[in-house]
Amino acid sequence: MAGIGRPVFREIPLARLDAGPYGITTGPDGALWFTLVHGGAVARMTLEGQLDVFPLDASGSRPCILTPGPDGALWFTRSGDHQIGRITTAGEMASFPLPTANAGPFGIASGPDGALWFTEMNADQIGRITTDGAITEFALPIQGAFPSAMTAGPDGALWFTLNQANAIGRVTPEGEVAIHPLPTPFAAPVGITLGRDGALWFVEIGAGQIGRITPDGTTREFPLPDRTARPHAIVADPDGACWFTEWGANRLGHITSEGVIHEYDLPTPSSEPHGLVLGPDGAIWIALEIGRILRVSFTNGS
């Protein structure tokens, strides 16, 4: 999918429009799984639109980001009650409280060591949890950094955004942390993903830019046509490009590995696009916080 052509949109409304779809991923069962940040639940949707909702044990748990784990379950952060959650594809759930009070877990990713790694927004820490629930925390060398999204890198480490420190972080499986400051002041990076080119691609919600950083720390930034678009989440596609949401501009964006940008207006105004994933059907699926899931395909693609 080259990101050129006419987009075809299909919106799927949820029963509770105030539930707040936020993070979204493809599960090991081939379905779409997403968090309901306001509804205190995790949901599963087939490609045909069949929906199952699994309420958590606390309505204020604020589930945010979720990811497939190495054990065949989905793991997710609970930023409201400071826990890590786990749900099987059959809907069986467990939760693991963090050792640090009010840690505010947000981003989460599977690591190369068979554990799950996550960020703690409020505590300036990176956490690690094994599939049996053992948790280790690693302090960052800076304060007020607001670590946000996280992804596995090509170098055996985990990479993450530091929203308030204006930097990208790297942590090894042993807990060694490195910080890479960004060139643009107040860039406020959020989403991050591993590109097919072996670099990490991220969005700068404060600066209206897309960033690229190689494992050696070399950074390049690509300004969006609308610097007030507030890009939020980003995901790589098999063609070497990346797709991203523009939360402030109500658009879907596409950037090639050379930095060529295309943008597509979403069909519903102010739909608040957040997480997105390239689905098993080749389409882009987006969580709209207004209470809908959006599927986007292209006339020359899927």
Half-sphere exposure of 132 (CA within 13 A, CB side): 0
Task: For 270-285, give the DSSP string.
Answer: T--EEEEEE-TTS-EE
Return all residues near 57 (Cβ < 8 A) that are at least 6 apart.
93, 95
Structural contact between residues 141 and 128, judged by C-beta atoms closer than 8 angstroms: no
Please tell me the distance from the alpha carbon of residue 185 to that of residue 192, in angstroms, as a whole number: 18
262 labelled catalytic = no
Catalytic residue among 232, 254, 262, 274: 274
Spacing of C-alpha 6 from chain mean position: 26
Closest CA to 230 of 213, 214, 254, 253: 253
Instruction: Give, in degrees to the nearest 5, the angle at Cα 23 between 224 and 265.
Output: 35
In contact, 34 and 272? CB cutoff 8 Å:
no
Q: Cα separation of 299 and 79, whole Å?
A: 39
* Element spanning 263, H or E: strand 261-265
User: Which are the catalytic amino acids?
Assistant: 274
